Amino acid sequence: MSDKATRVALVTGGTRGIGRAVVEALAADGYAVAFCYRSDDEAARELEKVLAERGHRTLSRRVDVSDTAAVRAFVAETDEQLGPISTAVTSAGITRDKALALMSDEQWREVIDVNLNGVFNVCRAVAFDMMKRRSGCIITMSSVAGVYGNPSQTNYSAAKAGIIGFSKALAKEVGRYNIRVNAVAPGYIETDMTADLAEKVKERARQAIALGRMGTAEDVAGVVSYLASDRASYVTGAVLHVDGGIAL
């Protein structure tokens, strides 16, 4: 792998929550970072400005990760503008919570398309070049919902559980090429995705968490930073829980 100063990271869902914290953490680690987002152009411009002021090279594009052609174009542009991708982080995700009996076909398909098919699209787009270079790191964003399930989240839990199986299988497949694949499973993290939860739901969650608090996006980004680094050079196929102990 090339010198750390020249490493390139690609992050999906990079303008908010965990994704944004990951972008900032990897940039601080010396990576040039390409990030994509679903719709918030203003947030992307603001993040690009922040990173540029800190002296970091970045590239941002609006990309629907469920769109195979769009993902491939983004990966190709990243390679052209910043260089070969050494680390890919699949952080894009959505929720469409509903009890299964009331869940629409669209709510099921949209969550699977973005959260699971999006991971497939990104990983397939970056894997071949990593295999040719015999070097790379892929970090997928699962969830404790994919570990133990959440009521009214059958779609989300299924997608996040699928990511774990996908990551373990891919780790076995590409390990011979010196490519590491690991999954991160956050618990209750203070982001805009959890901001709308009722206070009583948040309180029940805090009571179930061994550390007694919800996590921060930076808590998760720190684990991603570790997995992307040479300190984790012998870690692959792992699922790292960043959940304060809620899944114990």
Q: What is the pLDDT of residues 128-146, one digit of tens each?
A: 999 999 999 999 999 999 9
What pLDDT was estimated at residue 204?
85
Binding-site entries: 13-16, 156-160, 189
Q: Which contacts of 68-71 are long-range, i.e. CB under 8 A and separated by 24 or more positions?
A: 68/121, 71/118, 71/121, 71/122, 71/125
What pLDDT was estimated at residue 219?
98
| Superfamily holding 4-242 | NAD(P)-binding Rossmann-like Domain (3.40.50.720)
Query: What residue type is assigned to position 234 of the chain?
Result: Y
What pLDDT was estimated at residue 199?
82
- State how far the Cα of 248 lies from the Cα of 244, in Å rounded to an integer: 9
What pLDDT was estimated at residue 26?
98
Residue 73 has a CB neighbour count (10 Å cut-off) of 14
- State how far the Cα of 213 lies from the Cα of 114, in Å rounded to an integer: 29
- State how far the Cα of 57 lies from the Cα of 78, in Å rounded to an integer: 11
Q: What angle (nearest 5°) sits at the alpha carbon of residue 221, between those of residues 231 and 44?
A: 130
Residue recorded with tokens 């608090």: 213
Residues of the chain where predicted confidence (pLDDT) is lower than 50: 1-5
Q: What is the pLDDT of residues 10-34, one digit of tens each?
A: 999 999 999 999 999 999 999 999 9
Binding-site entries for NADP(+): 13-16, 156-160, 189
Annotation marks residue 148 as catalytic: no
If phi over 0 gives left and psi between -120 and 50 gives alpha, with beta otherwise, what is residue 149?
left
**CB under 8 Å to 20, separation ≥6 — which residues?**
14, 43, 47, 217
Domain range annotation of the chain: 4-242
- State how far the Cα of 225 lies from the Cα of 176, in Å rounded to an integer: 23
What pLDDT was estimated at residue 3?
41
What pLDDT was estimated at residue 4?
42
Q: Of 156, 177, 188, 234, which residue is the catalytic one?
A: 156
